[in-house]
Structure 1
Amino acid sequence: MRNKVLVVAIILLVCSSLTAQDWTNKFKEAQRVAQQEDKKVLLLFAGSDWCAPCMKLERFVLDTETFVTYASKNYVLVKADFPRKKKNQPPAYISEQNAALAEKYNPNGYFPLLVMLTSEGVKLGEIGYKKIATDAYINILKSWETR
């Protein structure tokens, strides 16, 4: 019995480490964590229920084990989602925060858009969806880290 419990615990641990990186929707909290952990903030502007390129970026890049592993060590991830369906709408305070973030960091309304920021909110770089490998995305992000 004890061996079965141990095996199940190990399987759960392995499976949980392979899941997608956690994205927060609280920008100020993310800045605080980034400052404490000496990380950059990676801000994603997405339309989760209508934007096909957003879905591709998440599926083929952001949810990959390679990206998740690298991002968890280097970034605090924030998702500013702009869903269209009523059932997917975030609370009003998150919608207001996302609108303010878009005004400041995505004034042209590009979707998807990944923006790298310092913990103080200084923009270091941005990229939309490109049909390139995860490693290529990571190399682009790395090039901004030293700015």
Structure 2
Amino acid sequence: MKKIYLIAVFCIGIVSAQAQKEELKWHTDVKEAMAIGTKENKPLMLFFTGSDWCGWCIRLQKEVFFTPEFTKWANEKVILVELDFPRSVPQSDELRMQNKGLEQAFQVPGYPTVWFATAATKDGKVNFQGLGKTGYVPGGSVAWLEVANGILEQK
């Protein structure tokens, strides 16, 4: 009977720990992300990726974006925007056009590229102010966050 009780308590603890785990919200609609960024006074973190084919993008996500350190940092500092260019995952024409337009506006040379930017709408047009960019940084989340914080501190 004690074993059953201990197992039940252990399972409840695991479920409760998972529920408390912070989660990330990656936006795909830039206008929605801009509105949230303005409301929360946070810059956008624009992640240009080829999610289903780019090895370095997948590595960046695994080594940095999927870590608890990044999750905590991102929830405090930025609004996350994923601008994906997949090869085998279908996208709406609207999303594809939005992503392509931003790729051109930010002159993305390759993937992964991460731009930090603020955005404002003036006279019906969106104006971005690029704060800086990075990509894959060797050394995991600590090294990557050091670069990201350096960019954000310049704003």
Query: Could you tell me which of 133, 144, 147 is aligned with 2:151?
Result: 144
Runs (4+) off by over 4 Å: 6-13
Q: Which residue of 2 aligns with 1:3?
A: none
Unaligned runs of 5+ in 1: 1-5
Structure 1 pair 109/17, CA: closer, same or farther in 2 (3 Å)? farther
Q: Which residue is 2:139 aligned to?
A: 132
Identity %: 26
Q: 1:75 to 1:84 in 2, by over 3 A?
A: same
Cα distance between partner residues in 2 of 1:65 and 1:128: 19
Code of the aligned partner of 1:35:
T
Higher mean alpha-carbon deviation, 123-132 vs 53-62, is at 123-132
TM-score (norm 1): 0.85
Structure with more of its chain in strand, by fraction? 2
C-alpha distance in 2 between matches for 1:44 and 1:9: 36
Number of aligned residue pairs: give it. 141
Q: Structure 2: which 5+ residue stretches go unaligned?
A: 1-8, 121-127
Cα displacement (A) at 1:7: 8.4
Q: Which has the higher contact order (CA 8 A, sep 6+)?
A: 1
Give the TM-score normalised by the residue count of structure 2: 0.81
The residue identity in structure 2 corresponding to 1:33 is I
C-alpha distance in 2 between matches for 1:68 and 1:56: 16
Query: What's the C-alpha RMSD, in Å, of the aligned pairs?
Result: 2.2
CA displacement 1:3-27 (0-9 Å, x = unmatched): xxx9877644532443652211010
